Amino acid sequence: MSQATARVLNSGMRLPPLPTIRELVKLYKLQAMKQLSQNFLMDERLTDKIVKSAGRIDPRDIVLEVGPGPGGITRSILRRQPQRLILVEKDRRFGETLQLLRECASPLDMQVDIYYDDILRFNIEQHIPDITQRIHLIGNLPFSISTRLLINWYADLAARRGAFRRNDTCMTLTFQKEVAERICAPVGSEQRCRLSVMSQIWTEPVMKFIIPGKAFVPKPQVDVGVVKLMPLKQPKTQLPFSLVERVMRHIFSMRQKYCRRGYGTLLPPDGREEATQTLFQRADVRDTLRSFELSVPQCLRLADAYAEYIREHPEVEGYDYRGPKIQDAATPSGDNDFTPAYNVVKCI
């Protein structure tokens, strides 16, 4: 018997009988909206398994659920009896089902707050100003925002802000199976990508289990992976998040070529080959490896080398190899003796 189950039985408190999620969806005529990437998970055994994957939820903990929809995972969270449950739902059509769950939780002294908002804009610090309680982030994420949300949360984790002002805020989230495999992909895996390295710099990602697509309504074209991401006590780098993200994006921009090709696009064409070779030597990384063959320490040494290089050559920091070419304004028009212009992107 799990600790959560034992706690509920010993307290004598449990949620009152409720209609099933399938019954509520039918009662309120709720249909998944394709433009919001909605897929309902009806099987309570699976929602219980997702919440169980989050680990121990203590009576003083706060749980923030992303996109509760009709409330399948929400019920499973309430059975674990956190002190407070925050629901962030963009679609107001689910208001009546979520209000029903809030009313059922009230006699059990559980606070349930419902916010109709976009999780990408939701200000967690404003709604959870106190950091004395541990936070769990749980959700069946819409496929369309899952990667963007995760990168945003990594930025918060690196800066120790938002939900990550404490270092024990775990994330238990669903992704398309392919994305889940990328997050957890080891060195040498065909699935290894920028997201793999970014995930493994700041967290320890673990694939918990796979949910077949047929378990959802409507059935998606792909299966779904449940991933738990546990923040590392000590991040593997102290470099600015934006710099690390930029370097990883360039390294993995040409997956099947030698990693020096993508990495080199961080630098202007004039002297690129020589500078790239120098940076790989500084980082002690073989430049004929392909990006998916690079370990996290190797990627970070390349980021360190780039950070040192732009301290020495600050004019290179804003270079964007895909940006428009801007000729130096000080060079007279038509002058045959001018310095090649860089592609410069304004850094914000």
Non-local (6+) Cβ contacts of 18 within 8 A are: 75, 100, 101, 104
Q: Is 212 left (phi over 0), alpha (psi -120 to 50) or beta?
A: beta
Q: Is 190 annotated as a binding residue?
A: no
- CA 71, distance to chain mean position in Å, is 22
Q: Is 41 annotated as a binding residue?
A: yes
> Would you give the distance in Å from CA 234 to the centre of its chain?
18
> How open is the CA angle 166-130-58, to the nearest 5 degrees?
70
- Whether 123 has a binding-site annotation, put simply, is no
118 annotated ligand-binding residue: yes
Considering only CA atoms, which of 317, 324, 283, 288 is closest in space to residue 301? Answer: 283
Question: What values do phi and psi take at 188, rounded to 5?
Answer: 90, -10
CB atoms within 10 A of CB 2: 11
**C-alpha to C-alpha distance for 167 and 170, rounded to whole angstroms:** 9
- To the question of whether residue 293 is assigned a binding role by annotation, the answer is no
In three-state secondary structure terms, 218 is coil
Does the annotation place 140 within a ligand binding site?
yes
Q: What are phi and psi of 205, to 5 degrees?
A: -85, 140
68 HSE (CA, 13 A, CB side): 36
CB 213 within 8 A of CB 222: yes
DSSP 79-118: TT--SEEEEE-S-GGGHHHHHHHHHHHGGGT-EEEEE-S-
Binding site, residues?
39, 41, 67, 89, 118, 140
Binding site for S-adenosyl-L-methionine, residues?
39, 41, 67, 89, 118, 140
